[in-house]
Amino acid sequence: MEDRTRVKQAGWRAATYAGIGLFTLFSAMPFYVMLITAFKRESDLYDPQNNPFWFTEPPTMANLDLLFGNTKFLTWLFNSFLIGALVVVITLVLVIPAAYSLARLAGRWGETLGIGIFLTYLVPPTLLFLPFAKVMAALGLQNSVWALIVAYPTFTVPFCTWLMLGFFKAIPRDIEEQAMIDGYGRLGAFIHAVLPLAIPGILTVIVFAFTLSTSEFIYALAFVQNSVEKTVSIGVPTELVRGDVFRWGSLLAGALLASIPVSILYTLFIDQFVAGLTALAK
Amino acid sequence: MATGVLEKYGARQRLLDSDRLLAAILIAPAIIYIVALMGVPFVLSIYYSLSDVTTGGTDAPFVGLANFRALIGDPTFLQTLYNTFLVSGMTLLIVLVLGTIQAELLLRSFRGKWLVRFLILLPWTAPVSLSVIGWLWMFDSIFSPIDWSLRQAGLLGHPGALLGPATNLYWLGSGGLPMASIILVNVWRILPLGTVIVLAGLNSIPREVQEQALVDGAGYFRRLFQVNLPMMLPIFGIAVLFTFVFTFADMVVIYILTRGGPANSTHVLTTLAFFTGVQGGSLGQGAAIALFMFPVLAALSAIILMLIRRREV
């Protein structure tokens, strides 16, 4: 009897590891191949007999040298970072007061309006990019990082307002009422009593405004053609692939290098992201 | 005494009034920003779809429904419409099934969970335009690592092999394989999102309910179908909504993998709108194609929101 349970447990554990292993392989394989290919010599890479998952010839730094030395990769990284940082600032300035207002001051229609704002997050950039490009041209922003800095808050603000609304609602009202009894005004109570408790929410907003901006593709592709103004998410796929000439080593190295920091940030805060989405069902 | 109460009432009323004013002032910038920058392009896109505007031209002659009529009669467009629903429908179905399995697995305890979590989430957390380049290499017509593995396993590349004697499968080449590859990459990308949403749902089921079901002698499938799934219906609604919307409105996967080719056979609404409007310069026609997404997205969002919120009341 005991043996049978033990066998059953061992089987259960084996099934768990096998299942997890398969799913992990499926998710991570392209990234692993990117990593290996980034350090492969061309002669190694372009031989269909060679193992694509390991080195047949010794690894090389040539692809990375080419990426950093002969392409605008660093410029694109800088553009992405600059756009991300400024979008974070605009998002925080718009979102914190809006979410606080919806959570505390707006009363019953705060929740409804919050859902309304969140729903605009479901309006995809692919629906709007054609006329939006004309609007950017009319504002004199075409072909510049500023077009993206202005455009990206249209999706970071709806999503982050909804996230922040959840954080503010979780802070007890007593805290600011106590602060107001202690002599602070509405604003003072907000700054001294509420904001310090909302720091996890603010961090979440910073991370998502940044990662959503750096991952964006469609607006960047439609608004920016000048290669020094491109972000890394369009620079790598459009500038390193020219017609039929693929520089696979550098291409995959660039794609992997730019992905990892964004992925780490995103993974650290994914629970907040999911909590935001699932809050719709509450 | 009475005046005191009145005064107190008046002060509270004033505070409430000032709160309402403050509420409006605080929320106005966000709403104005969104309405101006999304509303204007949205109205413009409706206007474009009814006109013959081009990238170079300055005037936009009104043409009524001509753009839409031309689309309905265009075989490429009908193929595109079919592809759009095929890709998002199949992706949704596969993600729901695999996501539930993956979520069940992740609930169990095992070593190295943080690393597994990071790796399993990678397809969703990495910028899609960069990660799909990895798949472009996986699907390469000569050097595809998948084909290499199949050749090593003896399934490809010799006479009598299960997948044929050719050395390569040409994943993005012709026939049904390019669409299958596109669905595969979409599943790969959205699966982590589906999984973490379902996982959040599973975690939200009270432990007592699970234990009671076990005590009552319910088996695994009984618990899955009669306890877990019904309790998770609202969360499944969320998973359906986001999986569908994010696949339906995506253009990056196809833009990177096939650019709608070969011979326009793998376009979806978004890529066709892009190539017609930006590359082809027919803004009117492009806007009309993109607008076909709107009723679907609006209706789906409305239905699912109604369903998941009604359960609460």
- B249-273 per-position pLDDT tens digit: 999 999 999 999 888 999 999 999 9
Question: Token pair for residue B73?
Answer: 């009669």
What is B74-310's CATH superfamily? MetI-like (1.10.3720.10)
Q: What percent of chain A has pLDDT over 70?
A: 98
Q: What's chain B's average pLDDT? A: 87
Confidence of residue B91 (pLDDT cuts 50, 70, 90): very high
Confidence of residue B17 (pLDDT cuts 50, 70, 90): low
Residue with tokens 């999984």: B195
Confidence of residue B313 (pLDDT cuts 50, 70, 90): very low
Which residues does chain B have within 8 Å of residue A267's beta carbon, measured at their own beta carbons? 117-118, 121, 125
The answer to whether residue B57 scores a pLDDT higher than 80 is no
pLDDT per residue as tens digits for the range B96-127: 999 999 998 998 888 888 999 999 999 999 99
Amino acid at B165: P
Fold classification of A65-281 (topology level) = MetI-like fold (1.10.3720)
Tell which of B12, B21, B26, B313 to mutate to test the A interface (max A CBs under 10 Å): B26
Confidence of residue A2 (pLDDT cuts 50, 70, 90): low
**A157 closest CB neighbour out of B33, B105, B131:** B33
Within its chain, how far is the Cα of B173 from the centroid?
Answer: 25
The pLDDT value recorded for residue A142 is: 86
pLDDT per residue as tens digits for the range B145-195: 999 999 999 899 888 888 888 888 899 988 889 999 999 999 999 999 999
The answer to whether residue B234 scores a pLDDT higher than 60 is yes
Please tell me which residue, A68 or A110, carries the higher pLDDT value.
A68
Q: What's chain A's average pLDDT? A: 91
The pLDDT value recorded for residue B15 is: 59
Nearest C-alpha in B relative to A252: B134
The pLDDT value recorded for residue A136 is: 92
Please tell me which residue, B91 or B232, carries the higher pLDDT value.
B91
A4–chain B nearest CA distance, Å: 18
The answer to whether residue B2 scores a pLDDT higher than 50 is no
Report CB contact under 8 Å: A46, B143: yes
Which residues does chain A have within 8 Å of residue B42's beta carbon, measured at their own beta carbons? 123, 127-128, 131
The pLDDT value recorded for residue B4 is: 52
Phi, psi of B141 (to 5 degrees): -70, -25
Q: What residue segments make up the domains of chain B, in order of their start?
A: 74-310
Confidence of residue A244 (pLDDT cuts 50, 70, 90): low
Cross-strand bridge partners of residue A242 = A245
Nearest C-alpha in B relative to A19: B105
Query: Are the beta carbons of B154 and B161 closer than 8 angstroms?
Result: yes
Report CB contact under 8 Å: B131, A281: no
Identify which of A246, A195, A219 has the alpha carbon closest to the alpha carbon of residue A66: A246
The pLDDT value recorded for residue B60 is: 72
Report CB contact under 8 Å: A234, B129: yes
Tell which of A8, A13, A17, A27 to mutate to test the B interface (max B CBs under 10 Å): A27
The pLDDT value recorded for residue A246 is: 79
Confidence of residue A22 (pLDDT cuts 50, 70, 90): very high
Report CB contact under 8 Å: A27, B122: yes
The answer to whether residue B55 scores a pLDDT higher than 80 is no
Query: Are the beta carbons of A251 and A179 closer than 8 angstroms?
Result: no
Cross-strand bridge partners of residue A245 = A242
Q: How many residues does chain A have?
A: 282
* Interface contact B242, partner A, CB < 8 A: yes
Tell which of B84, B129, B148, B256 to mutate to test the A interface (max A CBs under 10 Å): B129
Question: Token pair for residue B71?
Answer: 């689309």
Question: Token pair for residue A101?
Answer: 């207002």
Q: Is the Cα torsion angle B181, B184, B186, B188 positive or negative in sign?
A: negative
Confidence of residue A154 (pLDDT cuts 50, 70, 90): very high
Question: Token pair for residue B150?
Answer: 């199949």
Report CB contact under 8 Å: A27, B123: yes
Between the CA atoms of B300, B305, B308 and B313, what dihedral angle is there, to the nearest 10 degrees? -140
A and B: number of Cβ contacts within 8 A: 279
**CA A17/CA A22 separation, integer angstroms:** 9
Cross-strand bridge partners of residue A241 = A246
